[in-house]
Structure 1
Amino acid sequence: MMADSLSKPIRILLVDDNPNNLKVLSEMIQGYGWKALMATNGESAIEQTEYALPDLILLDVMMPGIDGFETCRRLKANPITQNIPVIFMTALSDSKDKVKGLEIGAVDYVTKPFQQEEVIARLKLQLKISHLTYTLEQRVQERTAELTQSLQQLQQTQLQLIQSEKMSTLGQLVAGIGHEINNPIGFIEGNFSYITEYTNNLLHLVNLQQQKLPHPEPEIEELLNQMDFEYLAEDIPKLLASIGQGIERLKGISLSLRTFARSDISSKMEFQIHEGINSTLMLLKHRLQNKKDRPTIEVITQYGNLPPISCYPGQLNQVFMNIIANAIDALDDLNQNHSYQKIAACPNTITITTSVNYQQETVTICIQDNGIGMLPEVQTRIFEQSFTTKPVGKGTGLGLAISYQIIVDKHNGKIDCLSIPGEGTKFIITLPI
């Protein structure tokens, strides 16, 4: 329950087994005019929450006794404490912990080491959400519609924070890998041309010597026989051609990594949609390839003559990644009940079709699979935040919610889903040029 700002200060319960962390956080919070309550373990935190009813709980994940996850579960199971917002504290690299915390019922997280501005901003956001919720309960008759809209906007802001952080981290990582492997690829490619030239010259020299000196010394004759020069002369060009193909493949992967990672958060830019789709398919190629229990998933691309569109390329690539990865999951779920031979007889396919409507100044991207499809009650909820049909640990329920926000809110577009159980699913994305 939100504290009344006129009667008493905001009370925040800090739960951490590290005294130094408690000291830093309490000084930060008290400096902002809030009151800090402290607990060093989960049992004590639950006890304090029940009698003190703080406005918000900042909860460490790793603690002796019951950890932060179990503490949060018990708080959410208690009607007295279940509505108090919980923000987890976790290390920056613990992405699984962040997702797990949100699934359990936490509203947000802050990362260690602490950044004061980030901590205060996230606390203020959640306190504001709590205040709006409390106010909504008090003024249902006169302000329900207005406060519901505000709450939805704040939830979208929270989703956007997660999406922005995810894209920033992923974008930096993928772009860094792309640039990192680009340098040795360039070095190999540059030297490869010289190796090819030198090898061809040497082979030409030996051939010329054999023509001009058809009866070499016995020692040379023996060496040529030992190395099987005729086979070597025939095989070396094939090896060089194979190496050349490998270099081109590496260049394609490097380009796909850099194309996919374009985050361009600050402003829109002209972008060719097909580049984004192709880079996404390149990064997912390992999931599409032949496996011991199923043949290769065939990707069919039917591209129209699309003009470049003004957009945020990195964010659109994230949408393509979410939808195509979900299609692969759906096909793999279907394959669990079928033999390799049966799948080969009716191949798994993902069909990507693009078109342009110059009259409406829009482009359309359709991504369709022939997987298990969805029931109507599932189809109506797929864009809801945190809704997922996947087992715990396999999905967060954020992928399609983020995709919806990117298409609708960021690009003023539309995203629709058509699905028939047992036949497959189609996502239709429409974007303004």
Structure 2
Amino acid sequence: MDNQPFILVIDDEPDNFDVIETLLFHEGYHLNYAASGQRAMERLEIFQPDVILLDVMMPDLDGIEVCRRIKANSQWQHIPIIMVTALTAKEDLAKCLAAGADDFISKPVNGLELRARVNSMLRIKHQHDQLQALLQLREDMVNMILHDMRNPLTSILLATEILKLPDFPTLRQQNKIEQIVSCVQQLQSLIDHLLLMAKLESGKMVLNLSETDLCGLCRSVLANFEAIASQKHLELIIQLPQPHISINLDPAIFRRVLDNLVSNAIKFSPQNSQVVLRVNDWDAGGAIIQIADLGPGISEDLKQCIFEKYEVGKLIPEVSQLGLGLAFCKMAVEAHGGKITVENNQPQGAVFTVLLPESRG
């Protein structure tokens, strides 16, 4: 991918563009030329440069008016503008800054100064782009969290309204109460994920490591999902090399990792299929945990980003797929010094593999 910055040079004299091009030749920039202010405005409709070098003294539409129009447009106002001028009076330079110019350079243009000022403006543009990406990420995150919260909240409200009906059968009240409890647990799990990830990212999460029976932990996790799996007629299978494996980890955090992976496997598995949780020895002295399903699998493109925060997989439209669970798994596993990957299962589905290099006791 070409990440070289684009610079738009606006000047009515082609010779001046040749000078700029010569001075910036070894910097690796893409230079575009506009011979008038009007041509520049037309060019901005097609592409947005990273920096604009704008001559002040131009016929018809002078540089100050061009600068004012660019900065008045919300789509263009973030582009840094360096005014190139032969004017030296403070009043003239003040007009440039009042029009919205970010910097200026005097003619005749000095190559060292030009490169320094362009690099300075590119840093500002890069910081702006990073901030915009962060704001967009936050907006996407809020939208996805609200989307994932809306479903359980809607179910809670509906179940509550049904319970308020005077002729609602008593025998079905318990089912509605259980539905409400389940939805509240979903909301609590989402909030817990957000809080734990925030702590892990900030370095404030301290793992409470202790010698833990990994096999017993895996058996306990599957036992908790038996009821959910039976509703989809899924068979949960556990494969262990021996009854007990003692490994140093934070049992509460790592259990949440296993819960996420098993929950995802069940969520995406077709009815009357299997979910397999297996543990094997690892040559590095730790253990390998794998959770395999026979679901739709994961595309190659999605494998590259599925562990990123707030990444949503387009696998099954009706299934909630907020990218928090797998992002948490990655952070938690890496906090233990391990690694998590995903590969294709055979004949179909996905296999998530967790490598724990902790030495066994």
TM-score (ref. length: structure 1): 0.36
Instruction: Give the helix-richer structure, 1 or 2.
Output: 1
TM-score (ref. length: structure 2): 0.43
